[in-house]
Amino acid sequence: MNQDDDAPTRNPNMKVSDQPLKKLTAELQHVGIAADHGGFELKQFLAGKLREAGFAVTDFGDSQLKSDDDYPDFIIPLARAVAARTMDRGIGICGSGVGASIAANKVAGVRAGLIDENFSAHQGVEDDDLNLICFGGLLVGHALAWELTQTFLAARFKGAERFRRRLAKVAQLENPTPVKAP
């Protein structure tokens, strides 16, 4: 197989939901989570499941259900913590997940993706070093969100040269070279 083949290393439908998370908590200790009103209930559920599994969870809000809150107020602080590496990984939730993903990706060093199936939950980390997963709280059920969260947390960046090269091109967009005046 050619080194540039992007074939997945495992079955794309593989699930980790039945595997114990004890090994993961030794490697990934701190998980940040944030949501607006559209994702509040799912955030509460996932935070509880993560704590039960032994993760240190930092909740970036909202701390209570408020129908007029705004996702950037919670997602941006979470994204900044992930970029600063004070959180090992992050989970951002809004009604559709789209706004959370857009807001998180405005923070340099964050690679967020809106995920609703297993293949992207692990492949996004393995190939693209995804560090913040986004969900639509009004679209993804509890069981699926928990399964995807476990898959996301279990995955590791492969670090192959082709993946690093691609990420370097993306990182250049975060720190553009100033244009010199004529």
pLDDT of residue 52: 95
Q: What is the pTM of this model?
A: 0.82
Ranges of H-type helices in 72-132? 72-83, 98-104, 118-128
Predicted confidence at residue 27, as pLDDT, reads 64
How buried is 95 (Cβ within 10 angstroms: 0-12 exposed, 13-18 middle, 19+ buried)?
middle
Q: How far apart are CA 47 and CA 36, in angstroms?
A: 14
pLDDT for 25: 54
Instruction: Please report the pLDDT score of residue 166 as a whole number.
Output: 87
In a structure prediction context, what are the per-residue pLDDT tens digits for the chain, which is 182 residues long?
344 444 444 445 555 544 545 555 556 689 999 999 999 999 999 999 999 999 999 999 998 989 999 999 999 999 999 999 999 999 999 999 999 999 999 999 999 999 999 999 999 999 999 999 999 999 999 999 999 999 999 999 988 898 888 888 888 888 766 667 67
User: CA gyration radius for the chain?
Assistant: 17
Instruction: Kindly list the domain boundaries of the chain, sorted by start residue.
Output: 22-174
Q: State the Cα–Cα distance between residues 169 and 163, nearest whole angstrom.
A: 10
Closest by CA to 89, choosing from 56, 54, 137, 43, is: 56
Determine which one of 24, 94, 132, 140 is catalytic: 94
Report the pLDDT value the prediction gives residue 106, as an integer from 0 to 100. Answer: 96
134 is catalytic: no
We find that the CATH architecture of domain 22-174 is 3-Layer(aba) Sandwich (3.40)
> Angle at Cα 104 formed by Cα 101 and Cα 108, nearest 5°?
135
Identity of the residue numbered 147: E
